[in-house]
Structure 1
Amino acid sequence: MARKKREEESDNHERWLVSYADFITLLFAFFVVMYAISSVNENKYRELTQSIGSAFGVKVVPTVINENPPVSIVPPAITRPLRKKATTNTEIRKEREKMTGIGRDLMKVLSPLINEGKVKVIQSARGVNVEINASVLFAPAEARLSRQSEEVLRAVAQILKDEPNDIQVEGFTDNMPISSAQYPSNWELSSARASSVVRLFVDQGIAGERMVAIGRSANSPIDDNATSDGRSRNRRVALTVLSNIPEAVTEVPVSVSENNTAGH
């Protein structure tokens, strides 16, 4: 019988699957390692890398991962003495007298506005607080100081310029929403108003590192926002000359003299 011809072997078109499977296996191993590293467990990381290295015939030296790396903190430069707590009755008395003197000087330059009920000056444990109605300083929905208000604030700056105390300026609004290209909300408006006062003080020679500008938006209202008069009172700027000894005094009204009670 004639010998049958050996059938020719056909090409195997599926051979690429072998390489593809090897590639997928390597990718899987890679992502397993990445997942293990993300867990930041040093012991498990070392064991896993050694196991994978043994499986692929490669010696792997695991890198030690420090779970709590050192953090470098650079303290800010201190340019002036920090506020301190009172240690003696003499210090308390001197600080009280100094803050009372600042309050009386402010009362004198602000007396016309105090008589109109647009400004209040109060001495408290924090220092001397000057509360100015926003209508005295700004046009509605604006943060640019009016000319009249600039004159008043310049007089205030002359009193505070040579004092060592820190100054905190806070801007407050009512709860009526505002939305403009310049002030998307009351947060921006209140911050801008406080910053306007601080900027004028800097121009008048008060050191910038003594001051901070804070926008409070509609928080901490002093009257009911449900009425027009209440909202008007809530729109204000509060300027606080901070005592170096906050415990020195309790809250009391400031008067120009013992017999003058105007502006209480």
Structure 2
Amino acid sequence: MRRREIRRSEKKGAPKWMVTYSDMVTLILVFFVLLFSMSQIDLVKFEAISESFRNRMIFDFYPSAIQMDNPTEHSSDEESGKLSNEFETPTQLDDNTARDEKADGEVSSLDQLLHEVEAYLDENELNNVITATRTDQGVELVLQDSILFNSGDATILESAKPFLNKISSLLHNIPNPVHVEGHTDSRPISNYRYPSNWELSGARAGSVIRYLLEKNDFDKSRFSSVGYADTQPVAPNTTPANWSKNRRVEIIILEDSKANNKKDRE
């Protein structure tokens, strides 16, 4: 009897290593798809998330990073918002209305002050030698040094005294504080009295104040002076005409509140 041959079943399908390889390729593909999807940023959503982190109200319910000793005792306060700024009453907020009204008052007072000064200059025919402008500090009177001093000197000329006398009359009618500034051009100076433009500019401002106080019964505390040398030119120091513009004395009639703020800071 012939022996029956046993047929071995042939295994079909991919080899085992192919399964592992396919899984690895699939995972790499998913990884790169994930990277690509993350690289596409929705700007609108990104800005919304950034704004939420910048908004301090997110952290108002937890003002400290340190946990409370008994969190259960304070949970009701946190949930109700008592420890945050979210439920501040209008009385707790800054009163911007009062500041706005004050600013409007300052503007109107400065306008009125400038109007009075301009009217006085017109009446006394001083517009050709004195210019009046309004600044953040107050009303500024600008006198060119050619009508006040000789070159390189801080002694007031006789011809300048009538102008200063008229300014004295103006200051009698306006009780505001007065700040006097001395300015020079950029050309250097060096002599036994004024080693530099700093000393010259300060001496000129001081000479104007000293003359005003000697000729009038003014309160000394109203006045202050400073010398800026050539640090604040009004024109480039390139021509004789511009040098003349930069050599000047500025008499600033301060707004009362500006002077009070200055005293408070001091």
Q: 1:220 aligns with which of 209, 220, 232?
A: 232
State the identity as a percent.
Answer: 28
Task: Name the SS of the counterpart of 2:235 in structure 1.
Answer: coil
1:154-209 per-position Cα deviation (integer Å, ceiling 9, x unaligned): 11111112433111100000111111111111111100000000011112222110
Further displaced range: 206-215 or 157-166 = 157-166
Root mean square deviation, CA, Å: 2.2
Separation in 1 of the partners of 2:217 and 2:116?
17
Name the one with the larger helix percent: 2
What 5-or-longer segments of structure 2 have no aligned partner?
Answer: 1-98, 259-266
Task: Confirm whether residue 100 of structure 1 aligns to residue 106 of structure 2.
Answer: no
- Checking the alignment, whether the CA contact within 8 Å between 1:109 and 1:155 is kept in structure 2 is no
The answer on 1:233 being equivalent to 2:245 is yes
Matches within 5 A, 1:16-165: 87-88=101-102, 91-92=105-106, 95-96=109-110, 98-108=112-122, 111-112=125-126, 114-115=127-128, 118-165=129-176
Question: Using a 3 Å threshold, how does the CA distance of structure 1 residues 163 and 142 change in structure 2: closer, same or farther?
Answer: same
Aligned to 2:212: 201
Question: Hey, what's the Cα distance between the residues in 1 that align with 2:159 and 2:123?
Answer: 13
Partner of 2:223: 211
Q: Give the length in aligned residue pairs.
A: 159
* Distance in 2 separating the partners of 1:121 and 1:179: 32
Separation of aligned partners in 2, 1:110 and 1:136: 16
Q: Deviations over 1:50-105 (max 9, x none)?
A: xxxxxxxxxxxxxxxxxxxxxxxxxxxxxxxxxxx774578447624541343224
178, 193, 203: which one aligns with 2:189 = 178
AA at the equivalent of 2:109:
E
- Secondary structure, aligned partner of 2:232: coil
Q: TM-score with structure 1 length normalisation? A: 0.55
State the distance in 2 between where 1:90 and 1:178 align: 45
Cα distance between partner residues in 1 of 2:110 and 2:193: 42
> 5+ residue gaps in structure 1?
1-84, 247-264
Q: Which has the higher contact order (CA 8 A, sep 6+)?
A: 1
Equivalent in the alignment of 1:33: none
When residues 88 and 216 of structure 1 are mapped into structure 2, their CA distance, relative to the original with a 3 A threshold, is closer
Q: 1:105, 1:159 within 8 Å by CA — same for their partners in 2? A: no
Q: Given residue 197 of structure 1, which amino acid in structure 2 is its aligned partner?
A: V
Which structure has the larger Rg? Answer: 2
Q: Give the 3 Å change call, closer, same or farther, for CA 209–187 of structure 1 in structure 2.
A: same
Distance 2:138 2:147 in 1: 23
- Is the contact between residue 174 and residue 217 of structure 1 (CA under 8 Å) also seen in structure 2? yes
